[in-house]
């Protein structure tokens, strides 16, 4: 019960034989807290249990839908998407695909990323292309030319350097970047 | 057969939900028809239907292509449960009884499934059923069931909601890892589910807290049972990592839960989990700003929050058993005979195995010791409010005397566990931290121990040191107390023989 | 010491541990636009 009992904890060479140090002395919790979305400072404290994905990082591969509430006023807006008095419906690809052209860019991006491997991902892809956005195969983001700048095509014609507007799906915003664009990387 | 009919009806339900949105009138009509046609109009039929639904859901999961949608039937079943709770008029059975009945049937099927010799049990569909049930209940109950038109129904459902969560909690308690190890990882994921844990933490009047403590106790008991010091099975080590993350998340979102329940949580926490112990004890009330514990000008008595008595959700007096009277009587009027009763009453009938740092067994009832120490602290704080500070900040007071006497009369083992219990109360700035800081300092510097002096001092230093050599967090009260002892002019710790005897420790203390 | 049968069940539970996809909000009714459809391999394949 005295100080000598702490020796196996303190002496590094004894650690692995007597106690599991990750549980006794523990570990630096910075990365664990970071993985939970907990910031160091108290001021910026945000709740994390409401969006808790899993007790383990390895099984937290995707976001989970939190509690949310859609007020009545969001559901009875007349003439949304030119639908007149009724709520807009999307029940038939044949009948409804043209409505995609009524969505704003951000809505298209949302649908593209939200529904992988679906009809709507394909339809939003086609619509964004119509609006001169191009999808980068490796970065997995959409980009379009900055209208203010003319890009310089590289000798050989395989790429161009210029200024582009990217849509960042993590930060959910458009941002301008100088970039070397390889033509075979976009679709 | 009747069972086949049940299968058919459930299958139709699953198909219906894939074809129409859930608020479509056809969904309500289907349920109405289920009731009218007697599918679920009696307890027997209810049981049979539930059994059919869960068996089909689990069966369909097991047979589905893993890359496809494997939970369609399970999700449909959970939707049905919510609809049945919300759409029916409850006359014969209450809503609670109805839900309990369905859960009991699910429990039965679960037990049978996991007991099958073919090892085909998979926790995922059962996990998904409860997870979806929680999500769908959340959806319908949002903003006090605003989606429900009828005001009376709405009121009933609002009243029922705490019951709903407590029934789920009871189900989880029955399926704790010690009982159903094949469900352990699903279980831990469920108790920390985003639609369960924050809800239970925030139910009005803290009505979810008792069940939550029960569940956390289940988790800690499982970890305690199978944690050996140096041979932790890999799976248990993974359990620990998950538990740590969950506790950190709770410390962030609802620190008051850890603050008010530290006693019960620590009663079941294996001693070797030193960092986790610190995580629980370092929880501080939201919005409290801690004075810098390393500030050389800091005087703990001047910290304003040290005047506030912390809330203790579970009164440890309930755990005093047959020592309640002797302890309370001693606090009124100390006597040697009462002390004898207490000192002998803290021993267990038999020695038990325990995984501690430096010890493998325990012959005292540590829970009882923790209860006594905390109870004395609570009573001391009450006394201070009733009378004056000098009534308790006084080595002649019965409060101090009881703890000091337990040390002086006790074996080394008793001394260790009493000191541990005292140090457990050195947390954020509050009235208990302040008083136990006073107690510990005086115990350390007391000249009344005689030959036991060195042993008691060593136990105190060991107990404080083990809580600061760990990775952070460290408790504010521990740092402040240890700092005071290190700076004490009355006793230079560095000169103490038992410190000099252990060069590694001497080195650390010098560093501190 | 954990009995062998228990250890084996615990291991099995670890292997089958539900992940965040299992814990996500159920969606039963899919409108026709979000039905599965083969799309480019370069598109993100997780939501």
Q: Which two tokens stand for residue B484?
A: 């005071």
The 3-state DSSP class for residue B169 equals helix
pLDDT at A91 (0 to 100): 74
What's the average model confidence in pLDDT over C17-29? 93
Confidence of residue B116 (pLDDT cuts 50, 70, 90): confident
Residue B60, pLDDT above cutoff 60: yes
Which of B138, B276, B505 faces A3 most closely, judged by CB atoms? Answer: B505
Residue C23, pLDDT above cutoff 90: yes
Which of C30, C43, C46 is the best mutation test for A, with the most CBs of A within 10 A? C43
Q: What is the pLDDT of residues A127-155, one digit of tens each?
A: 999 999 999 999 999 999 998 889 999 99
Is the alpha carbon torsion for B200, B203, B206, B210 positive or negative?
Answer: negative
pLDDT at A11 (0 to 100): 77
Closest-CA residue of chain B to A25: B470
Q: What is the pLDDT of residues B301-347, one digit of tens each?
A: 999 999 999 999 999 999 999 999 999 999 999 999 999 999 999 99
Q: What is the pLDDT of residues B225-254, one digit of tens each?
A: 888 766 778 899 999 999 999 999 999 999
Total beta-carbon pairs less than 8 A apart between chain A and chain B: 162
The answer to whether B233 contacts C26, with C-beta atoms less than 8 Å apart, is no
Cβ-in-10-Å burial (0-12, 13-18, 19+) of B65 comes to: exposed
pLDDT averaged over chain B?
95
Which of A18, A26, A53 faces B229 most closely, judged by CB atoms? Answer: A18
pLDDT at B233 (0 to 100): 83
Confidence of residue C44 (pLDDT cuts 50, 70, 90): very high
Q: What is the pLDDT of residues B132-188, one digit of tens each?
A: 999 999 999 988 998 888 999 999 999 999 999 999 999 999 999 999 999 999 999
Confidence of residue A16 (pLDDT cuts 50, 70, 90): low
Q: What is the pLDDT of residues B1-14, one digit of tens each?
A: 999 999 999 999 99
pLDDT at B230 (0 to 100): 67
CA distances from B396 to B197, B392, B439 (A): 46, 9, 11
Of B121, B109, B1, give the one whose Cα is nearest residue B54.
B109
Residue with tokens 């298209």: A108
Confidence of residue B353 (pLDDT cuts 50, 70, 90): confident
The 3-state DSSP class for residue A175 equals strand
Q: How many residues are listed for chain B in this entry? A: 512
Confidence of residue B465 (pLDDT cuts 50, 70, 90): very high
CA distances from A89 to A53, A68, A73, A97 (A): 32, 22, 18, 11
Which of C1, C7, C17 faces B185 most closely, judged by CB atoms? Answer: C17
Residue A76, pLDDT above cutoff 80: no
Residue A13, pLDDT above cutoff 60: no
Name residues 18-47 of chain C within 8 A of B (Cβ).
18, 22-23, 25-26, 28-30
What whole-number distance in Å separates Cα of residue B426 and Cα of residue B421?
10
Q: Which two tokens stand for residue B136?
A: 């769908």
Q: What is the pLDDT of residues B490-499, one digit of tens each?
A: 888 989 999 9
Beta carbons of B300 and B293 less than 8 angstroms apart: no
Higher pLDDT, B123 or A17: B123
Cβ-in-10-Å burial (0-12, 13-18, 19+) of C14 comes to: middle
pLDDT at A42 (0 to 100): 58
What whole-number distance in Å separates Cα of residue A15 and Cα of residue A12?
5
The answer to whether C23 contacts A53, with C-beta atoms less than 8 Å apart, is yes
Q: Write out the H or E segment, with its range, that includes residue B27.
A: helix B25-36
Hey, what's the torsion of the CAs at B236, B261, B375, B288, to 10 degrees? 120
Which of B21, B124, B226 faces C18 most closely, judged by CB atoms? Answer: B124
The torsion angles phi and psi of A118, rounded to 5 degrees, stand at -135, 170
Partner A contacted by C31 (CB < 8 A): yes
pLDDT at B470 (0 to 100): 94
Confidence of residue A183 (pLDDT cuts 50, 70, 90): very high
pLDDT averaged over chain A?
89
What's the average model confidence in pLDDT over B470-489? 95
Q: What is the pLDDT of residues A24-66, one digit of tens each?
A: 899 999 999 999 999 876 556 789 999 999 999 999 988 899 9
Exposure string (b/e) for B215-228, b if CB count within 10 Å is 16 or more? bbbbbbbbbbebbb
The answer to whether A56 contacts B276, with C-beta atoms less than 8 Å apart, is no
What whole-number distance in Å separates Cα of residue A83 and Cα of residue A35?
44
Residue with tokens 């703990």: B300
Of B303, B355, B13, B198, give the one whose Cα is nearest residue A66.
B198
What whole-number distance in Å separates Cα of residue A88 and Cα of residue A78?
9
Residue B350: count other Cβ atoms within 10 Å of its Cβ.
7
Q: Which two tokens stand for residue A122?
A: 């394909």
Partner C contacted by A63 (CB < 8 A): yes
What whole-number distance in Å separates Cα of residue B238 and Cα of residue B339?
44
pLDDT at A43 (0 to 100): 59
pLDDT at A12 (0 to 100): 64
Q: What is the pLDDT of residues B378-401, one digit of tens each?
A: 999 999 999 999 999 999 999 999
ipTM > 0.95?
no
Confidence of residue A15 (pLDDT cuts 50, 70, 90): low
The answer to whether A118 contacts C35, with C-beta atoms less than 8 Å apart, is yes
Beta carbons of B178 and B187 less than 8 angstroms apart: no
Residue B44, pLDDT above cutoff 60: yes
């Amino acid at each position: 019960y005295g100080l000598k009992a702490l020796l196996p904890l303190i002496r590094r060479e004894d650690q692995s034989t007597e106690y599991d140090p990750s549980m006794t002395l523990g570990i630096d919790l910075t990365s664990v807290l970071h993985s939970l979305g907990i910031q160091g400072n108290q001021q910026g404290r945000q709740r994390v249990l409401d969006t808790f994905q899993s007790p383990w990082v390895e099984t937290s591969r995707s976001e989970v839908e939190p509690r949310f509430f859609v007020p009545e006023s969001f559901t009875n807006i007349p003439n949304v998407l030119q639908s007149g008095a009724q709520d807009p419906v999307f029940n038939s690809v044949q009948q409804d695909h043209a409505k995609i052209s009524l969505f704003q860019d951000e809505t298209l991006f949302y649908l593209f990323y939200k529904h992988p491997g679906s009809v709507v991902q394909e339809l939003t892809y086609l619509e964004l292309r119509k609006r001169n956005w191009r999808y980068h195969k490796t970065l997995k983001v959409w980009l379009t030319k900055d209208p203010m700048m003319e890009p310089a095509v590289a000798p050989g014609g395989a790429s161009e350097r210029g200024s582009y507007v990217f849509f960042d799906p993590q930060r959910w915003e458009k941002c301008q970047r100088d970039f070397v664009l390889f033509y075979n990387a976009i679709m | 057969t009747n069972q086949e009919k049940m299968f058919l009806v459930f299958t139709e339900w699953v198909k219906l939900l894939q074809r129409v949105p859930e608020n479509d009138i056809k969904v309500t009509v289907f349920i109405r028809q289920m009731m009218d046609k007697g599918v679920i109009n009696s307890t027997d039929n209810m049981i049979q239907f539930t059994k059919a639904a869960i068996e089909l859901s689990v069966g369909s999961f097991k047979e589905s292509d893993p890359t496809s949608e494997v939970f369609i039937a399970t999700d449909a079943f959970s939707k049905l449960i919510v609809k049945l709770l919300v759409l029916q008029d409850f006359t014969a059975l209450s809503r609670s009884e109805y839900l309990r009945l369905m859960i009991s049937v699910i429990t039965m099927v679960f037990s049978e499934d996991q007991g099958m010799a073919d090892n085909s049990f998979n926790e995922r569909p059962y996990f998904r059923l409860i997870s979806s049930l929680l999500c769908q209940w959340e959806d319908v109950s949002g903003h006090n069931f605003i989606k429900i038109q009828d005001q009376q129904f709405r009121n009933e459902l609002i009243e029922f909601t705490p019951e709903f969560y407590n029934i789920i909690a009871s189900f989880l308690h029955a399926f704790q890892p010690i009982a159903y190890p094949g469900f352990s990882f699903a279980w831990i994921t469920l108790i920390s589910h985003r639609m369960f844990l924050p809800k239970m933490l925030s139910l009005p009047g803290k009505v979810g807290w008792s069940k939550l403590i029960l569940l956390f106790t289940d988790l800690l008991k499982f970890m305690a049972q199978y944690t050996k010091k140096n041979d932790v099975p890999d799976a248990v080590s993974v359990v620990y990592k998950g538990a740590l993350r969950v506790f950190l998340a709770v410390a962030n979102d609802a620190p008051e839960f850890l603050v008010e329940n530290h006693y019960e949580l620590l009663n079941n926490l294996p001693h070797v989990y030193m960092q986790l112990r610190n995580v629980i004890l370092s929880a501080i009330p939201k919005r409290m700003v801690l004075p810098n514990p390393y500030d050389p000008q800091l005087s703990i008595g001047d910290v304003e929050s040290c005047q506030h008595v912390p809330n203790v959700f579970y009164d440890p007096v309930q755990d005093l058993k047959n020592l309640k009277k002797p302890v309370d009587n001693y606090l009124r009027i100390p006597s040697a005979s009462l002390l004898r009763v207490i000192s002998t009453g803290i021993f267990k009938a038999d020695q038990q195995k325990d995984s501690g740092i430096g010890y493998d067994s325990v012959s005292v009832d540590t829970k009882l010791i923790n209860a006594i120490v905390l109870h004395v602290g609570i009573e001391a704080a009450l006394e201070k409010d009733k009378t004056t500070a000098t009534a308790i900040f006084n080595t002649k007071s019965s409060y101090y005397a009881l703890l000091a006497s337990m040390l002086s009369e006790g074996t080394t083992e008793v001394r260790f566990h009493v000191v541990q219990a005292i140090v457990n109360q050195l947390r954020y700035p509050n009235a208990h931290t302040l008083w136990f800081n006073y107690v510990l300092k005086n115990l350390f510097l007391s000249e009344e121990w005689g030959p036991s002096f060195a042993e008691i001092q060593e136990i105190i230093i060991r107990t404080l040191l083990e809580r600061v050599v760990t990775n952070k967090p460290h408790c504010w009260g521990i740092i402040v107390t240890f700092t005071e002892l290190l700076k004490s002019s009355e006793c230079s710790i560095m000169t103490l023989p038992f410190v000099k005897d252990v060069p590694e420790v001497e080195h650390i203390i010098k560093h501190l | 010491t954990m009995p062998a049968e228990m250890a084996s069940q615990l291991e099995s539970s670890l292997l089958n541990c539900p992940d965040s996809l299992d814990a996500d909000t159920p969606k039963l009714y899919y409108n026709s636009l979000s039905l599965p459809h083969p799309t480019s391999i370069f598109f993100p394949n997780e939501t």
